[in-house]
Structure 1
């Protein structure tokens, strides 16, 4: 971590914005997945759901990084 508190705050703020964007992308993928399932394209829906798992895993890592930056 940087010894520069202002840099840490700016980095944490940027990561927070990226995390918000990631949540919005997840919501969009969930809506598309629902539509795919309802319209008989279940195999594509399953693939879309697997991307959500990756986004969720990465969201947790981003959240942890934000917390570490804000505590330093």
Structure 2
């Protein structure tokens, strides 16, 4: 398997890790909010917005990269 063949799989795994981290951080922001720090929780959710905004593009691009020629 060439390095070029590995790239789509690597990017897919990195994206999976990113989404898992997003979910974990969201859980922490909910926990923080329940303990009275709504402003901090909102700031965290705002930072996570970029991941959510870019998710569809990343998925579409990965699907194209993983499609056999």
TM-score range, shorter chain: 0.7 to 0.9
Task: Quote how far apart the aligned CAs of 1:6 are.
Answer: 6.5
Q: Pick 1 or 2: higher relative contact order, CA cutoff 8 A, min separation 6.
A: 1
Unaligned runs of 5+ in 1: none
**Count of residues in correspondence between the two structures:** 67
Segments of 4+ moved more than 4 angstroms: none
Task: Please tell me the root mean square deviation across aligned C-alpha atoms, in Å.
Answer: 1.7
Distance 1:61 1:15 in 2: 13
Distance 1:64 1:53 in 2: 18
- State yes or no: 1:38 paired with 2:25: no
Unaligned runs of 5+ in 2: none
TM-score (norm 1): 0.79
